[in-house]
Amino acid sequence: MKIRTGIGYDVHQFAEGRKCILGGVDIPHSVGLLGHSDADVLCHAIADSILGALGLPDIGYYFPPEDDSIEGISSLDILKKCKALADEKGADLQNVDSALVAEAPKILPHIAEMKANIANALALVPEDIGIKATTNETMGFVGRKEGIAAMATCCLVIH
Ligand SMILES: Nc1ccn([C@@H]2O[C@H](COP(=O)(O)O)[C@@H](O)[C@H]2O)c(=O)n1
Ligand SMILES: C[C@@]1(CO)OP(=O)(O)OP(=O)(O)OC[C@H]1O
């Protein structure tokens, strides 16, 4: 039996006319997040943490930005693919922890729904999912409200 950890990081910039989807929740905001997918920066960081723990290539290998067939894909489906890859390797995901860095929107009121969505995609329970939010205290690209950053870790057991 091996205990493995993984780390993931992602950034998406804000753009007019896009949705702001985080953890599968469509959060009301004046701008949304730009991407070839639904641009769910939180799910992307979590996906890369799982792929890393499995010793597999990153999210862009499985979901290439050049692939027109996945335009607008829900990032919860990306998490479901990561769960399937974990199953193939005989890996049991134990928990995920994550942090969002954003000046806005206010994320705290949406965290319970985000945890439920992510837990459902990964066949975990909400208590296995950590999500925190913090501002960047007005500094840098996040502080200028140009985008959102996310980081995630996970732990899994390979039998
Ligand atoms: N986009 C955000 C940022 C922060 N929060 C919540 O506010 C708390 C304080 O944030 P600081 O950056 O001032 O430390 C933080 O702990 C979160 O609960 C949020 O909901 N959404
Ligand atoms: C899933 C993908 C697919 O294009 O989503 P994007 O919205 O392009 O987001 P990014 O985090 O830049 O890279 C991951 C991509 O593989």
ipTM for the assembly: 0.94
The pLDDT of residue 77 is 98
Angstrom distance (rounded) from CA 157 to CA 143: 37
Cα 71 off chain centre by:
17
- 149 close to 9: Cβ distance less than 8 angstroms: yes
**Residue segments in the chain with a per-residue pLDDT below the cut of 70:** none
Looking at residue 87, what is its pLDDT? 98
Tell me which of 22, 44, 46, 62 to substitute to probe ligand 2's pocket, judged by most ligand atoms within 8 Å of the beta carbon. Answer: 44
Where do runs of H (alpha helix) occur along 28-143? 41-54, 59-62, 75-88, 111-122, 140-143
Ligand nearest to the CA of 74: 2
How high is the pLDDT of residue 96?
98
- What is the model's pLDDT at position 144? 98
Our answer on whether the CB atom of 10 is closer than 6 Å to any ligand 2 atom is yes
